[in-house]
Structure 1
Amino acid sequence: MLPTLTHIALHVPDLDTCVAFYRDYCAMQVIHRRAGKGSQIVWLAEPGKEHSFILVIMPGGQARQLASDDYSHFGFALESRAAVDQIAAKAAAAGCLIWPPRDEPYPVGYYCGVRDPAGNYVEFSYGQPLGPGSEAMPIP
């Protein structure tokens, strides 16, 4: 059997603000919350993907200070360019937009970048060969 990526676990400086961010921007839901080593551990998942991939967040981390040209990020696919624009407008109003919407050649597509409360970068894209509509796009 081959390995399967099931989760990413992060320590964050403020658990509740990170839970709210991933709920409000990424439509993730808390599927599990428990005490662990003197703190809370929270599992987040996209609806319907609770058994395939989760984000585990725990308090106690340091805020990340990524450079504006650092493209380390979590990637979320959206259903349209308009949805990317909506996320970008919401993030700009909240002061956490890092990459305004931009269009790049295939396979990158149309995307924007947002900083989560822990300093991680989160990309929202449309037109990549992953996510909504990807079945029609070959991966080069």
Structure 2
Amino acid sequence: MRPTLTHVAMHVPDLEACVTFYQQFCAMQVIHQRAGKGSRIVWMAEAGKEHSFIFVIMPGGQDRQLAADDYSHFGFALESREQVDSIAARARTAGCLVWEPRDEPYPVGYYCGLRDPAGHYVEFSYGQPLGPGSEHMALA
């Protein structure tokens, strides 16, 4: 048996705000929605990954009050440091930037962190051995 991670499901206090956040900052799309939990349940995925990994977002959660030094997060890889800086600038304007862009030794790379409307932290990184541009990098 070889399990495969296919989704993360999360309850959120404001479904619409979270859907909008993941559309605007993470380029995720709504790929399915259905009635449930007194509102609707939304499935979101990155383009081309609809059959491999999704977020299931449901109403009814509580706001996460994570500390600034809590590094629990969802991680998204970007193709350049400039893209990390661009996301950080947009997040700064939107008031949801929690970790300014920073550079750390391999395998962490260059990253910033945002807070989604439910309080989850979302990292955007470049230079990790995962995601775009990782073909030439190896974990040691």
**Bin of the TM-score, shorter chain as denominator length:** over 0.9
Unmatched 5+ stretches in structure 1: none
Write the mapping of 1:80-119 to structure 2, written as runs, cut at 5 A.
Answer: 80-119=80-119
Structure 1 position 75, deviation (Å): 0.1
Structure 1 position 37, deviation (Å): 3.4
Amino acid at match of 2:120: N
Amino acid at match of 1:24: Q
CA distance in structure 2 between the aligned counterparts of 1:46 and 1:17, rounded to whole angstroms: 18
TM-score (norm 1): 0.99
Identity of counterpart residues, as a percentage? 79
CA distance in structure 2 between the aligned counterparts of 1:138 and 1:79, rounded to whole angstroms: 17
CA distance in structure 2 between the aligned counterparts of 1:113 and 1:75, rounded to whole angstroms: 9
Structure 1 position 36, deviation (Å): 1.4
CA distance in structure 2 between the aligned counterparts of 1:31 and 1:45, rounded to whole angstroms: 7
- 1:26 lines up with 2:26 in the alignment: yes
- Per the alignment, residue 122 of structure 2 pairs with 122
Amino acid at match of 2:46: E
Q: How many residues align?
A: 140
Q: Secondary structure at the match of 2:65?
A: coil
- Residues 85-117 of structure 1 show CA distances to partners (whole Å, capped at 9, x for unaligned) of 000000001111000000000000000000000
Work out whether residues 37 and 59 of structure 2, in 8 Å CA contact, stay in contact via their aligned partners in 1.
no
- Per the alignment, residue 71 of structure 2 pairs with 71
Structure 1 position 38, deviation (Å): 2.1
Segments of 4+ moved more than 6 angstroms: none
CA distance in structure 2 between the aligned counterparts of 1:30 and 1:80, rounded to whole angstroms: 26
TM-score (norm 2): 0.99
